[in-house]
Chain A
Amino acid sequence: MPLWSWPCSPCRFQWHLEEVGQELGADGSINIPRIIAAEAETSMTPTEEMNGSGNLMDFLDEPMPDVGTYEDFHTIDWLREKSRDTDRHRKITSKSKESIWEFIKSLLDAWSGWVVMLLIGLLSGTLAGVIDLAVDWMTDLKEGVCLSAFWYSHEQCCWTSNETTFDDRDKCPQWQKWSELMTGHALGGGAYVLNYFLYVMWALFFSFLAVTLVRVFAPYACGSGIPEIKTILSGFIIRGYLGKWTLLIKTVTLVLAVSSGLSLGKEGPLVHVACCCGNLFSSLFSKYSKNEGKRREVLSAAAAAGVSVAFGAPIGGVLFSLEEVSYYFPLKTLWRSFFAALVAAFTLRSINPFGNSRLVLFYVEYHTPWYMAELVPFILLGVFGGLWGTLFIRGNIAWCRRRKTTRLGRYPVLEVMAVTGITAILAFPNPYTRRSTSELISELFNDCGALESSQLCDYINDANMTRPLDDIPDRPAGPGVYTALWQLALALVFKIVITIFTFGMKIPSGLFIPSMAVGAIAGRIVGIAVEQMAYHHHDWIIFKNWCRPGADCVTPGLYAMVGAAACLGGVTRMTVSLVVIMFELTGGLEYIVPLMAAAVTSKWVADAFGKEGIYEAHIQLNGYPFLDVKDEFTHRTLATDVMRPRRGEPPLAVLTQEGTTVEDVEALIKDTDYNGFPVVVSRESERLIGFVQRRDLTVAIKTARQKQDGVVSNSVVYFTEDAPQLPASNPQPLKLRRILNLSPFTVTDHTPMETVVDIFRKLGLRQCLVTRSGRLLGIITKKDVLRHMAQMMNQDPESIMFN
Chain B
Amino acid sequence: MTRIVLFLQLFSSICFLLLLSSQTTNAKNSEDIRCKCICPPYKDVLGQIYNQNVSLKDCNCLHVVEPMPVEGKDVEAYCLRCECKYEERSSSTIKVTIIIYLSILGLLLLYMVYLTLLEPVLKRRLFGHSQLIQSDDDAGDQQPFANAHDVLSRSRSRSNMLNKVEHAQQRWKRQVQEQRKSVFDRHVVLS
A163 to B46, CA, bound (A): 13
Beyond A165-B48, A451-B38, whether A220 also contacts B94 by CB under 8 A is no
Beyond A216-B112, A218-B179, A403-B191, whether A355 also contacts B89 by CB under 8 A is yes
Measured between beta carbons, the chain A residues less than 8 angstroms from B189 are 220, 228, 238, 622, 624
Within 8 A of B (CB), among A383-397: none
Distance of B54 from chain A, by nearest CB (Å): 13
User: Does A169 contact B93, Cβ atoms closer than 8 Å?
Assistant: no
Beyond A165-B48, A284-B6, whether A468 also contacts B94 by CB under 8 A is no
User: Does B187 contact A213, Cβ atoms closer than 8 Å?
Assistant: no
Beyond A65-B152, A216-B112, A466-B77, whether A351 also contacts B180 by CB under 8 A is no
Distance of A665 from chain B, by nearest CB (Å): 12
User: Does A151 contact B99, Cβ atoms closer than 8 Å?
Assistant: yes
User: Is residue B90 within 8 Å, beta carbon to beta carbon, of the partner chain?
Assistant: yes
User: Is residue B168 within 8 Å, beta carbon to beta carbon, of the partner chain?
Assistant: no
User: Does A134 contact B97, Cβ atoms closer than 8 Å?
Assistant: yes
Distance of B25 from chain A, by nearest CB (Å): 9
User: Is residue A670 within 8 Å, beta carbon to beta carbon, of the partner chain?
Assistant: yes
A621 to B187, CA, bound (A): 11
Mark contacts of A590-611 with chain B using CB atoms, 8 A cut-off: 1 yes-contact digit, 0 otherwise.
Answer: 0000000000000000000000
Within 8 Å by CB of A240, from B10, B31, B175, B191, lies B175
User: Does A217 contact B108, Cβ atoms closer than 8 Å?
Assistant: yes
Within 8 Å by CB of B90, from A65, A66, A252, A352, lies A352
Distance of B87 from chain A, by nearest CB (Å): 5
User: Does A352 contact B191, Cβ atoms closer than 8 Å?
Assistant: no
User: Is residue A123 within 8 Å, beta carbon to beta carbon, of the partner chain?
Assistant: yes
Within 8 Å by CB of B46, from A119, A165, A450, lies A165
User: Does B48 contact A152, Cβ atoms closer than 8 Å?
Assistant: no
- Interface stretch, picked from B14-22, B121-129, B132-140, B158-166, is B14-22
Measured between beta carbons, the chain B residues less than 8 angstroms from A400 are 191
By beta carbon, the residue of chain A nearest B181 is: A219
Distance of A298 from chain B, by nearest CB (Å): 15
User: Is residue B26 within 8 Å, beta carbon to beta carbon, of the partner chain?
Assistant: no
By beta carbon, the residue of chain A nearest B111 is: A217
Distance of B186 from chain A, by nearest CB (Å): 10
Measured between beta carbons, the chain B residues less than 8 angstroms from A698 are 144-145, 147
Within 8 Å by CB of B88, from A163, A220, A357, lies A357
Measured between beta carbons, the chain A residues less than 8 angstroms from B190 are 219-220, 222-223, 228, 622
Within 8 Å by CB of A468, from B14, B21, B81, lies B81
User: Does B147 contact A213, Cβ atoms closer than 8 Å?
Assistant: no
User: Does A280 contact B147, Cβ atoms closer than 8 Å?
Assistant: no
Work out how many contacts link A and B, with CB atoms closer than 8 A. 186
User: Does A412 contact B184, Cβ atoms closer than 8 Å?
Assistant: yes
User: Is residue A449 within 8 Å, beta carbon to beta carbon, of the partner chain?
Assistant: yes
- Interface size on B, as a range, is 35 or more
The winner among A245, A350, A351 for most chain B CB atoms within 10 A is A351
User: Does A284 contact B152, Cβ atoms closer than 8 Å?
Assistant: no
Measured between beta carbons, the chain A residues less than 8 angstroms from B50 are 164
User: Is residue B188 within 8 Å, beta carbon to beta carbon, of the partner chain?
Assistant: yes
A763 to B10, CA, bound (A): 35
A468 to B82, CA, bound (A): 9
Distance of B88 from chain A, by nearest CB (Å): 7
Within 8 Å by CB of B108, from A123, A129, A137, A252, lies A252
Mark contacts of A115-147 with chain B using CB atoms, 8 A cut-off: 1 yes-contact digit, 0 otherwise.
Answer: 000010011001001100110010000000000
Measured between beta carbons, the chain A residues less than 8 angstroms from B93 are 133, 351
Measured between beta carbons, the chain A residues less than 8 angstroms from B172 are 245
Measured between beta carbons, the chain B residues less than 8 angstroms from A715 are none
User: Is residue A801 within 8 Å, beta carbon to beta carbon, of the partner chain?
Assistant: yes
User: Is residue A720 within 8 Å, beta carbon to beta carbon, of the partner chain?
Assistant: no
Beyond A219-B179, A252-B105, whether A166 also contacts B48 by CB under 8 A is yes
By beta carbon, the residue of chain A nearest B116 is: A216
User: Is residue B62 within 8 Å, beta carbon to beta carbon, of the partner chain?
Assistant: no
Beyond A219-B184, A240-B175, A506-B184, whether A621 also contacts B48 by CB under 8 A is no
Beyond A238-B189, A404-B187, whether A669 also contacts B49 by CB under 8 A is no
User: Is residue A162 within 8 Å, beta carbon to beta carbon, of the partner chain?
Assistant: yes
User: Does B6 contact A122, Cβ atoms closer than 8 Å?
Assistant: no
Within 8 Å by CB of B94, from A65, A156, A284, lies A156
Mark contacts of A450-493 with chain B using CB atoms, 8 A cut-off: 1 yes-contact digit, 0 otherwise.
Answer: 11000000000000001011000000000000000000000000
Within 8 A of B (CB), among A66-125: 66, 71, 119, 122-123
A264 to B104, CA, bound (A): 23
User: Does B94 contact A151, Cβ atoms closer than 8 Å?
Assistant: yes
Measured between beta carbons, the chain A residues less than 8 angstroms from B20 are 126, 129, 351
User: Is residue B98 within 8 Å, beta carbon to beta carbon, of the partner chain?
Assistant: yes
Beyond A130-B101, A209-B109, A252-B104, whether A506 also contacts B48 by CB under 8 A is no
Measured between beta carbons, the chain B residues less than 8 angstroms from A133 are 93-94, 97-98, 101
Distance of B37 from chain A, by nearest CB (Å): 10
Apart from A122-B14, A134-B101, A151-B99, 17 more pairs, CB < 8 Å:
A119-B10, A129-B20, A137-B94, A137-B98, A159-B89, A160-B34, A165-B48, A166-B49, A209-B109, A213-B108, A216-B116, A219-B176, A240-B175, A252-B105, A355-B87, A469-B81, A702-B149
5 nearest A-B pairs in the assembled complex, by CB-CB distance: A166-B47, A151-B98, A219-B183, A451-B40, A404-B191
List 28 A–B pairs whose Cβ atoms lie within 8 Å, in order of A's numbering: A126-B17, A129-B97, A133-B98, A151-B99, A162-B51, A165-B46, A166-B47, A213-B109, A216-B115, A216-B116, A219-B176, A238-B189, A245-B176, A248-B108, A252-B108, A284-B7, A347-B17, A355-B87, A400-B191, A404-B187, A404-B191, A449-B40, A449-B83, A623-B188, A624-B189, A698-B145, A699-B149, A702-B145
B residues apposed to A, CB below 8 Å? 2-3, 6-7, 9-10, 13-14, 16-17, 20-21, 24, 31, 34, 38-41, 46-51, 53, 77, 80-81, 83, 87-91, 93-95, 97-101, 104-105, 108-109, 112, 115-116, 144-145, 147-149, 152, 172, 175-176, 179-180, 182-184, 187-191
